[in-house]
Amino acid sequence: MIDLVAAQAVSLAHDPVPAEQVVAGEPSTGSVALGTLADAEYGVWEMTPGAMSDVEEDELFVVLFGVATVAFADGAFWTLGPGSTGRLDAGSRTVWTVTETLRKVYVTG
């Protein structure tokens, strides 16, 4: 069990985004699960500059650093930066465009 972690400094191993998800550039992502709370997992996720499509899970997140936009298939559009807090619904189709490496803390269940 992890009780306290400096989420902005956690070391993450990155993998290239799968080719079928790449929209632009050569983004990579890294994540680490830190633990669970009830039936939810919490952890840290990061993406380097570029754009990728995704199908979301139920998630609550807080951006620690970086800049990105999230475009939703229904036309909604978010601009994210440090301190941005968002809730994603399972099944939502998105395109994440990161202009400065983005790191977030997430809770998903």
Query: pLDDT by residue (tens digit) across 46-89?
Result: 999 999 999 999 999 999 999 999 999 999 999 999 999 999 99
Task: Judge contact between 53 and 97, C-beta under 8 A.
Answer: no
Number of separate domains in the chain:
1
Q: Which residues contact 96 (CB under 8 A, 6 or more apart)?
A: 47, 51, 52, 54, 68, 69, 70, 102
- Whole-angstrom Cα distance, residue 47 to residue 27? 7
Q: Is residue 4 part of a domain?
A: no
**Which CATH number does the domain housing residue 95 bear?**
2.60.120.10
Residue 109 pLDDT class (50, 70, 90 cuts): confident
Structure tokens of 67?
């800049």
Residue 21 pLDDT class (50, 70, 90 cuts): very high
What backbone torsions phi and psi does residue 21 show, to the nearest 5 degrees? -100, -15
Q: Is residue 22 part of a domain?
A: yes
Domain enclosing residue 63, as ranges: 14-108
